[in-house]
Structure 1
Amino acid sequence: MSDQPRSDPIPEGESRDGPLLRRRAGAVLELILDRPEALNALNLALEAALRRGIRAAGADAGLRAIVLTGAGRAFSVGVDLKELEADPAGLSGRHWHGPESLAEMIRALPQPVIAAVGGPAVTGGLELALAADFLIASTEARFADTHALVGITPSWGLSQILPRLIGQNRARQMSLTGMFIDAARAEAWGLVNEVHPPEALLPRARELAAAIAETEPVTMGRVRRLIALAAETGLSAGLAAERVVFDAHIPSVTPAAIAERRARVIARGRAQAGRGRSGSGEGGR
C-alpha cells in the first residue's frame, strides 16, 4: 500500500482506455475488464490498460474505494493463451512478478479494492481477484486454478494467498486438479464473502464501496495495514504493532471529531437496521 505519484483526477462518469472501461461516481471507481468476446482474457493490451488504470487510481486523492469486475459473462479467464501461442516471446514481455505485476500493483493501492466476480475467474483471473481486499460473487461465478494444467507456475501470489484464505487442503484440491468450484462452495470455503443474484452483484459492490468511502481515510488505511499484517506475523507481534499505531494516532483525536463521527455511526446504524432506534453513544470501541 505504497505512496503513489499525484496526477490529474480520473473524470466522473465513463471513460475508456482500449479494453479497460473506467466508471467513476464520486469517491468510487469501477475498473471493468472489457474483452467480453474473449472472456476478459488478459492480453498485453488489457494488461497495459489495467496497469495505467491502477496507476491513475492510486494517484487520485479523491478516490476512496475501487471495484474491479469484468464485462459480460466472465470476470477473467486469465492470461490470453491464444496470444501466447501466436507469439511465445510474449511470455518474456510480461511483468510476472515485482512492483509492476498487476497483482502487486492492486495490493499496493492506497484504496481498498472489492473484486466483484460475475462469472469464471480462472488462473491469472483468479489471481487478480485474490489481489483485492475481498471478493463478492454472483451465483454464476466459478473459480479454478489451472496453472498445473497449462504448465505455468503461479507468479501473482496464488500459491501463497489461496491457502491462507481457504486452507492448505482445499488449496491443494483446487490447484492440483484444476477443477472448478462454484460460488456456493467458494463462499462456504471462505474464498468469497457474499453471493448474490447476477443482477444484484454490482449494486452490492457499489454499496460496499460507498460504505468504505464514508470512513475516515487515514484511520481506515491504518486498520487495513494492520489486518494485512495479521497474515504475515504472529499474534504477539501483531498486537504490538496495533499498540504502536494506536499510541501514535490517539493524540490527534479530538472530542469534536468524535462527536461528528459518532453522529455518522448512529445514522449508518439506523439506515442498516431499517428502523429509527437511537444509539447509546457506543459503537466506537
Structure 2
Amino acid sequence: MIQANASEATTVRVERRGRVGIVTLNRPARRNALSSTLIEELPRLVTELGADGSVDAIVLTGADPAFCAGLDLNELGSTGDNLGLPDRPEYPWPWRVEVPVIGAINGPAVAGGFELALHCDVLLASDRALFADTHGRVGQFPGAGLTVRLVEAVGLQRARMLCLTGNFIDAATAARWGLVVDVFSHEELLERATGIAADIADNDRRFARRMLAHFEQLARLDRAAGMELVAEEMRTWNDDFTPDDVERRRQAVLARSLEQRSGR
C-alpha cells in the first residue's frame, strides 16, 4: 500500500478499497487548483498505484466543493512555476498507467481541471458537477490534450462552442452530450464510482489492461484499420487460449452472479 508523506497529504490523498485505488485532489480551500506541488505529486502517485500489482482500477476525485479549478492563478500570476511543469518529461502529466481511471467529478471541473477530467477513461458526475474550458478568459492555450479529447467526447461543434465561449455546462447537459456516462446524487457519487471500479477489477486482469490499450489504439485509426487491429488482437489473444482458463473464469462469473443475487 502506498504511504503518503506530509506534502502528499496536503495536496493528494491516496487510499485503497480492495483492488481499487482512490486518489483525491486535496486543496479544497483553493478548489483543488493545480499548484506546482500538486502537478508534481499527482502523476507520481497515480503511476505508482497503476504499477501496484494489487490495484486493477483507480478512481480520481476532488475534495469538495470542486473537482479542480485548473491552474492555480495565484501562482500563475506571481511566479508562473506551475505553467510549464506538465510539459516536462519528469512529470508524465497527468499519468501513465495500464489500468482504467474512473473520474468521479464531484464539482466544477474548469480549464486545466476539465482537461484533467478528460484524461480519465470513464467519467461519472455528481449533480453538482460543472464543466468549462475557460482558457480563453485568461489568455492561456490548452496544451494538455483538451481539444483532442473534447472533440472525441462531444463532437467538433460542441467542442468549438465550449472552447470559444468559456461557458459552463451542468452535469445533466454533460450526460446528454455524452461527456459523462451517468450522473448521481452528490452523496452517492464516490460509492457508485468505486463500485464501478470494483466491477472492472473483478474481471480478468490481463483482459482489462489489453482492452484499455486496444481502445487507445482504435482512437488513432480509421474504421478499416480498426477492423484489422481487432482481427490481429483476436489472433494474438487466442494464442494464449486454454479451456482450463475459460472454465475457471466461468466459475468465477457464476459465483459473482450468485453473490449479487443473494445481496439483493
Q: Distance in 2 between matches of 1:188 and 1:99?
A: 38
Q: Match for 2:177: what amino acid? A: W
2:12 paired with 1:37 = no
After superposition, residues 34-183 of structure 1 pair within 5 angstroms as 34-92=26-84, 94-96=85-87, 100-103=91-94, 105=95, 108-183=96-171
Matched-pair identity in % = 39
Contact 1:18/1:45 (<8 A) preserved: no
Contact 1:127/1:158 (<8 A) preserved: yes
Deviations 1:180-218 (A, max 9, x none): 000000000000001000111000011011011111111
Secondary structure of 1:95's aligned partner: helix
Out of 180, 204, 218, the position equivalent to 1:216 is 204
Contact 1:136/1:194 (<8 A) preserved: yes
Contact 2:36/2:81 (<8 A) preserved: no
Alpha-carbon deviation of 1:177?
Answer: 0.3
Deviations 1:233-255 (A, max 9, x none): 01111111111121112132211
Contact 2:105/2:124 (<8 A) preserved: yes
Q: Match for 1:149: what amino acid? A: R
- TM-score relative to the length of structure 1: 0.85
Contact 1:67/1:113 (<8 A) preserved: yes
Q: Distance in 1 between matches of 2:156 and 2:224?
A: 23
- TM-score relative to the length of structure 2: 0.92
Q: Distance in 1 between matches of 2:78 and 2:15?
A: 32
Residue 21 of structure 1: aligned partner: 13
Deviations 1:142-171 (A, max 9, x none): 000011111111111001110111011111
Q: Match for 1:35: what amino acid? A: R
Closer, same or farther: CA 49–233 of 1 in aligned 2, 3 Å: same
Contact 1:33/1:75 (<8 A) preserved: yes
Alpha-carbon deviation of 1:266?
Answer: 3.4
Deviations 1:3-43 (A, max 9, x none): xxxxxx5259xx95431110112211011000001100010
Q: Distance in 2 between matches of 1:165 and 1:145?
A: 14
Q: Distance in 2 between matches of 1:116 and 1:33?
A: 11
Unpaired runs of 5+ residues, structure 1, are: 1-8, 277-285
After superposition, residues 203-242 of structure 1 pair within 5 angstroms as 203-242=191-230
Q: Match for 1:59: what amino acid? A: A
Secondary structure of 1:233's aligned partner: coil
Q: Distance in 2 between matches of 1:118 and 1:80?
A: 19
Contact 2:10/2:27 (<8 A) preserved: no
Residue 5 of structure 1: aligned partner: none
Aligned residue pairs total: 261
Unpaired runs of 5+ residues, structure 2, are: none
